[in-house]
C-alpha cells in the first residue's frame, strides 16, 4: 500500500532491492553475528553491481540520479537484513553526500565513482573516545605543513573500518579559535596513508560490520584531500545530518517490518489453551500497536524524504526538525515493535531459533548512534521554538480566547 508514495522509478528500485535482499545468503548473516566474518565485501560489491548503491547520486559517477524517497524505499528493504548490512549500505549514502555536495571534480572521480561501483570501501569517523554528542569538542588534530595535513588522534566506533579503503574524518584544524563552529575540517584519509585500525571490543549486536577504532599518528594527508574549505566542517556536518539520520530512520522501518511479520505469522500458528494465540487480545492488540507504530514511522519518514527532495536535498530548520523526528520515532518504534514481537513469541523468541533476539540487539544501537535520541530531542524542540516565533499571528486563530475565562488576563502570570 505504501507504493502510493512512489513513482515508477522509485518502485523499480524498491522491488529490485527487495529481490537482492531475498537472495542475500542466510549464512552470511549467521556468520556475521558469530563474528566469523568481519566485513562482507561481496555484499557491498553485489549491491553496486545491481546499481543499488547510492541511488541518489548522479549517473555520471555511478549513481541512479534518483532522490531521497527512492533511497528510503530501498532502505526499508535493506533494513530487513538488520543493522550491520543496512549500515554498510548507508555508509555510501553518508560519505557520498559529503563528496558529492562539497567535493571537487577530482575527488568525485577519484573517490565517489569507485565507491559507487563497489571498487572502494568507505567509513565515516566522527566519534572520539572523549565523546560523540559534542561534535565541536573534537580533539583529533590536523596541522597544515608543507602541503599536507598531519593528523594525530583517535576515532572510535567506526563501522566498516575493518574493510574500508578510505575514511571521511572530522578533524580539528583551528583548535585555538574562539568559535568552535569554525574549528573543524573534513578530510578523506586513505587507509594506506598510515591509519591503524584495531578491533578493540565486542558488540552487543550489529556484528560483522567491521566496527573498530582508528589511530592516527603523524598521518600525512595531502591538502587536496580536504573536502570543502578549511574549517568548514561544521557546515558540512549540518548537511550530513540528513544522510546520517535518514538512513537510520529508513533502515529501522525494514527491521520493524521483519519483526512484525514474524510475530504475526507465529501468532496464527502457535496455540495456547486450545486456540491460536492471535485470538487473545493480549496478543492481537500488541500486533495492532506494532502495525500502527510502523505505519506512523513510514508516514513520517517518507514525508520527511519528500520535504528534503523538495528542497533539492539541502538542509533547513524544518528539515532538521523532521529528520531528527524521523530518526527518533522510527528507531524508537522499531525497538517497541521488536519487544512486542519477542513477547508474542514467548520463550522461543528469546532464543536464537528465531532472529528476533538479533534484531533486538541491533535495534538497541539505533537509538544511540547517528546522534542519540536525546540529541534528536534537543534538535526537535530547538527548531520548533524557532518556528513558533515565525508563525504569523495574524493568520492563525487566537485559540487562547476560546477559554471561558479568557478575559481574566490578570490571572495569566508568567514571572
Shortest Å, Cβ 123 to ligand FAD: 6
CB 55 within 8 A of CB 63: yes
Interface residues with ligand FAD (CB under 6 A) are 124-127, 131-133, 157-159, 203, 206, 211, 365, 368-372, 374-375, 378
Nine cell digits for residue 400: 487562547
Shortest Å, Cβ 204 to ligand FAD: 8
CB 259 within 8 A of CB 338: yes
If the CB atoms of residues 284 and 372 are measured against ligand FAD, the closer one turns out to be 372
Nine cell digits for residue 303: 514525508
Shortest Å, Cβ 39 to ligand FAD: 13
Give me the helices (H) in 110-204, please: 113-116
How far is C-alpha 118 from the chain's CA centre?
A: 20
- Other Cβ atoms less than 10 A from the Cβ of 135: the count is 20
What is the DSSP annotation of 284-324?
HHHHHHHHHHHHHHHHHHHHHHHHHHHTTT---HHHHHHHH
Residue in the block written with cell 524505499: 73
Shortest Å, Cβ 342 to ligand FAD: 21
Nine cell digits for residue 30: 549467521
Shortest Å, Cβ 365 to ligand FAD: 5
Residue in the block written with cell 508563525: 391
Shortest Å, Cβ 170 to ligand FAD: 8
User: Looking at the DSSP assignment, which residues form a beta bridge with residue 131?
Assistant: 128
Shortest Å, Cβ 323 to ligand FAD: 15
If the CB atoms of residues 286 and 328 are measured against ligand FAD, the closer one turns out to be 328
If the CB atoms of residues 64 and 206 are measured against ligand FAD, the closer one turns out to be 206
Shortest Å, Cβ 373 to ligand FAD: 7
If the CB atoms of residues 14 and 213 are measured against ligand FAD, the closer one turns out to be 213
If the CB atoms of residues 174 and 368 are measured against ligand FAD, the closer one turns out to be 368
Shortest Å, Cβ 382 to ligand FAD: 11
Question: In angstroms, rounded to a whole number, what is the distance separating the alpha carbons of residues 251 and 93?
Answer: 13
- Helix/strand number for the chain, H first, E second: 12, 10
CB 331 within 8 A of CB 253: no
If the CB atoms of residues 67 and 324 are measured against ligand FAD, the closer one turns out to be 324
If the CB atoms of residues 7 and 35 are measured against ligand FAD, the closer one turns out to be 35
CB 84 within 8 A of CB 93: no
Question: In angstroms, rounded to a whole number, what is the distance separating the alpha carbons of residues 269 and 132?
Answer: 45
**Beta-sheet strands, E only, within 110-231:** 122-125, 141-145, 148-158, 166-172, 184-190, 196-198, 212-222, 226-227
User: Looking at the DSSP assignment, which residues form a beta bridge with residue 220?
Assistant: 150
Question: In angstroms, rounded to a whole number, what is the distance separating the alpha carbons of residues 253 and 323?
Answer: 14
Shortest Å, Cβ 292 to ligand FAD: 27
If the CB atoms of residues 103 and 371 are measured against ligand FAD, the closer one turns out to be 371
If the CB atoms of residues 125 and 380 are measured against ligand FAD, the closer one turns out to be 125
3-state SS assignment for residue 311: coil
If the CB atoms of residues 98 and 290 are measured against ligand FAD, the closer one turns out to be 98
Residue nearest to ligand FAD (CB): 132
Amino acid at each position: 500500500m505504501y507504493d502510493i508514495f512512489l513513482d515508477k522509478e522509485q518502485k523499480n528500485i524498491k522491488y529490485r532491492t527487495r529481490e537482492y535482499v531475498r537472495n542475500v545468503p542466510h549464512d552470511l548473516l549467521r556468520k556475521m553475528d558469530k563474528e566469523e566474518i568481519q566485513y562482507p565485501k561481496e555484499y557491498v560489491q553485489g549491491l553496486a553491481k545491481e546499481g543499488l548503491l547510492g541511488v541518489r547520486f548522479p549517473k555520471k559517477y555511478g549513481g541512479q540520479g534518483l532522490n531521497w524517497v527512492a533511497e528510503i524505499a530501498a532502505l526499508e528493504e535493506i533494513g530487513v537484513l538488520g543493522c550491520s548490512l543496512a549500515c554498510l549500505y548507508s555508509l555510501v549514502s553518508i560519505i557520498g553526500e559529503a563528496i558529492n555536495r562539497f567535493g571537487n571534480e577530482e575527488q568525485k572521480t577519484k573517490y565517489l565513482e569507485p565507491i559507487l561501483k563497489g571498487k572502494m570501501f568507505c567509513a565515516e569517523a566522527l566519534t572520539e573516545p572523549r565523546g560523540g554528542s559534542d561534535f565541536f569538542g573534537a580533539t583529533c588534530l590536523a596541522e597544515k605543513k608543507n602541503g599536507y595535513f598531519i593528523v594525530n588522534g583517535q576515532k572510535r566506533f567506526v563501522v566498516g573500518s575493518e574493510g574500508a579503503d578510505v575514511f571521511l574524518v572530522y578533524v580539528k584544524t583551528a583548535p585555538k579559535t574562539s568559535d568552535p563552529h569554525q574549528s573543524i575540517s573534513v578530510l578523506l584519509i586513505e587507509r594506506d596513508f598510515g591509519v591503524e585500525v584495531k578491533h578493540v571490543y565486542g558488540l552487543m549486536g550489529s556484528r560483522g560490520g567491521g566496527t573498530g577504532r582508528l589511530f592516527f599518528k603523524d598521518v600525512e594527508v595531502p591538502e587536496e584531500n580536504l573536502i570543502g574549505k578549511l574549517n568548514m566542517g561544521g557546515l558540512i556536518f549540518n548537511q550530513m545530518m540528513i544522510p546520517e539520520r535518514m538512513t537510520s530512520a529508513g533502515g529501522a522501518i525494514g527491521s520493524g517490518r521483519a519483526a512484525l511479520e514474524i510475530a504475526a505469522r507465529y501468532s496464527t500458528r502457535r496455540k495456547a489453551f486450545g486456540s491460536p494465540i492471535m485470538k487473545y487480545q493480549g496478543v492481537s492488540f500488541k500486533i495492532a500497536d506494532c502495525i500502527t507504530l510502523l505505519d506512523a514511522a513510514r508516514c513520517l519518514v517518507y514525508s520527511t524524504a519528500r520535504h528534503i527532495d523538495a528542497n533539492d536535498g539541502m538542509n533547513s530548520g524544518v528539515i532538521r526538525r523532521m529528520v531528527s523526528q524521523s530518526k527518533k520515532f522510527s528507531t524508537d518504534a522499531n525497538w517497541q515493535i521488536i519487544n512486542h514481537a519477542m513477547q508474542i513469541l514467548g520463550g522461543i523468541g528469546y532464543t536464537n531459533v528465531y532472529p528476533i533476539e538479533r534484531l533486538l540487539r541491533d535495534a538497541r544501537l539505533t537509538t544511540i548512534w547517528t546522534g542519540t535520541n536525546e540529541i534528536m530531542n534537543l534538535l526537535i524542540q530547538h527548531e520548533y521554538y524557532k518556528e513558533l516565533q515565525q508563525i504569523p499571528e495574524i493568520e492563525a486563530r487566537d485559540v487562547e480566547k476560546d477559554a471561558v475565562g479568557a478575559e481574566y488576563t490578570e490571572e495569566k502570570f508568567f514571572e
